[in-house]
Amino acid sequence: VSRFEGIAMAPPDPILGVSEAFRADTNEKKLNLGVGAYRTEELQPYVLKVVKKAENLMLERGENKEYLPIEGLAAFNKATAELLLGADNPVMKEGRIATVQGLSGTGSLRLASALIERYFPGAKVLISSPTWGNHKNIFNDARVPWSEYRYYDPKTVGLDFEGMVADIKAAPEGSFILLHGCAHNPTGIDPTPEQWEKIADVIQEKNHIPFFDVAYQGFASGSLDQDAASVRLFAARGMEILVAQSYSKNLGLYAERIGAINVVCSSADAAARVKSQLKRLARPMYSNPPVHGARIVANVVGDPALFGEWKAEMELMAGRIKNVRQKLYDSLMAKDKSGKDWSFILKQIGMFSFTGLNKAQSENMTNKWHVYMTKDGRISLAGLSLAKCEYLADAIIDSYH
Ligand code: PLP
């Protein structure tokens, strides 16, 4: 008899489990709109040309495979903080930022959670309802208490701004407020610049600490600077901020696990101490981070020509998703005779669209139409092609009514 008899089978992951089910389906009409990974119009995975160029450069240089320092590659850490805040941001000049390379967005969030657990015992993290499914797992495993603030309003398929502000206001002083920097996952609904100002107001009023998750910089608008506007607005107020970054989506480096945790502090001295503690937390967890993705990012961001090429490819990817979004909307409007207003699809931004389909309707999408998606009604437009929009519209209309 096994010593592991007491271990029950874990449920499949709600997002990655969708890909497993997709692979097992033999129907040729099948469509995988589950995971948020960019596909070409031919629905193939895409390696950015600028990434291939950076990798060729790295090969030519014959760089070695020695360990990185615990905090990661220095050139990467500098590049990633500058990409986030802008190179001329006073925060950079004053050295008020602690940047540590992380295992992509997830690992960076996990490291920040460990910092919260150790140095802010009992402090709560407030997360949006709904949010990316893994946030709850991350905070649970780090033993950081969390609760939700209102975000999505099913009546308008839009932002419940009043509810959001009221819940942030009602949270215990000094809570961490998790915010999606841009392209909110799963809803695709972001606050307006004016709303961001008001959110910053309440957070300051309540002495909360803003904690940004930036997994889609460049993917919302196509512009890296514009998509960092929310974070920069908070930084310009002199606030202390946590920011987790990921290069999975915007550089297509999903499997390289490259990202960072940044802590903007009110002094260089505080930043140095925070950084030393982040390193202390990282060392027993994974010792030091992988080098390959860090070198790619450092090369692309650090070289003006490659940086320019990246921006162009970024716009291409964001543009393809926008085209698909428009075509899906047009197809729904043309086919649906019920008079339903589908314009919310056009208002959403980023890789995802929240269709408003409930669990049973989402299951109909999969069981009858072979459209794989998460059961919260989210579809990844990055996995959709213009050619499949009409089929998807048929499936959505059939599932709705
Ligand atoms: N945060 C959000 C909101 C995400 O959607 C994702 C990926 O889907 C991540 C973080 C982390 O992704 P990764 O760990 O691949 O960087």
* Three-class HEC string of 122-181: CCCEEEEECCCCHHHHHHHHCCCCEEEEECEECCCCEECHHHHHHHHHHCCCCCEEEEEC
What are phi and psi for residue 379, nearest 5 degrees?
-120, 145
Give me the catalytic one of 160, 213, 227, 376. Answer: 213
Helix or strand holding residue 379 (H, E):
strand 378-380
Distance from C-alpha of 99 to C-alpha of 92, rounded to nearest angstrom: 11
Instruction: Report the residue among 185, 257, 258 best suited for mutation to probe ligand 1: largest number of ligand atoms under 8 A from its CB.
Output: 185
Instruction: Please state, rounded to an integer, the average pLDDT across all residues of the chain.
Output: 96
* Confidence (pLDDT) at 156: 86
Interval 266-302: pLDDT, tens: 999 999 999 999 999 999 999 999 999 999 999 999 9
What does the pLDDT average to over 109-132?
97
* Confidence (pLDDT) at 36: 86
Ligand 1 binding pocket (C-beta < 6 A) is: 36, 104-106, 132, 180, 185, 213, 215, 246, 248, 254, 259
Residue nearest to atom 9 of ligand 1 (CA): 105
Interval 143-188: pLDDT, tens: 999 999 999 998 888 999 999 999 999 999 999 999 999 999 999 9
Residue nearest to atom 4 of ligand 1 (CA): 215
Instruction: Say whether pLDDT at 13 is over 90.
Output: no
Distance from C-alpha of 184 to C-alpha of 182, rounded to nearest angstrom: 6
Give me the catalytic one of 53, 124, 249, 275. Answer: 249
What does the pLDDT average to over 56-60?
96
Residue nearest to atom 8 of ligand 1 (CA): 36
Residue nearest to atom 12 of ligand 1 (CA): 105
Interval 21-57: pLDDT, tens: 999 999 999 999 998 899 999 999 999 999 999 999 9
Q: How many CA atoms lie within 13 A of 20 on its CB side?
A: 7
* Confidence (pLDDT) at 54: 97
Strand partners, 211: 178, 242
> How many angstroms separate the alpha carbon of residue 5 from the centre of ligand 1?
33
CA neighbor of 377 nearest in space, from 398, 352, 358, 360: 358
* Confidence (pLDDT) at 337: 93
- Give the position, in ligand 1's atom list, of the atom nearest the Cα of 135: 1
Residue nearest to atom 10 of ligand 1 (CA): 105
Single pTM value for the model: 0.96
Q: Please give the span between the terminal C-alpha atoms of the chain, in angstroms, as a whole number.
A: 51
Interval 299-343: pLDDT, tens: 999 999 999 999 999 999 999 999 999 999 999 999 999 999 999
Instruction: Say whether pLDDT at 16 is over 90.
Output: no
Percent of the chain surpassing pLDDT 70: 100
Q: What are 327's two structure tokens?
A: 């075509």
> How many angstroms separate the alpha carbon of residue 216 from the centre of ligand 1?
8
* Confidence (pLDDT) at 148: 98
Percent of the chain surpassing pLDDT 90: 93
Instruction: Report the residue among 134, 136, 231, 351 best suited for mutation to probe ligand 1: largest number of ligand atoms under 8 A from its CB.
Output: 134
DSSP string, 234-290: HHHTT--EEEEEE-TTTS--GGG-EEEEEEE-SSHHHHHHHHHHHHHHHHHHHSS--
Q: How many CA atoms lie within 13 A of 287 on its CB side?
A: 4
12: confidence class by pLDDT, cuts 50, 70, 90: confident
Instruction: Say whether pLDDT at 215 is over 90.
Output: yes
Active site annotation includes 132: yes
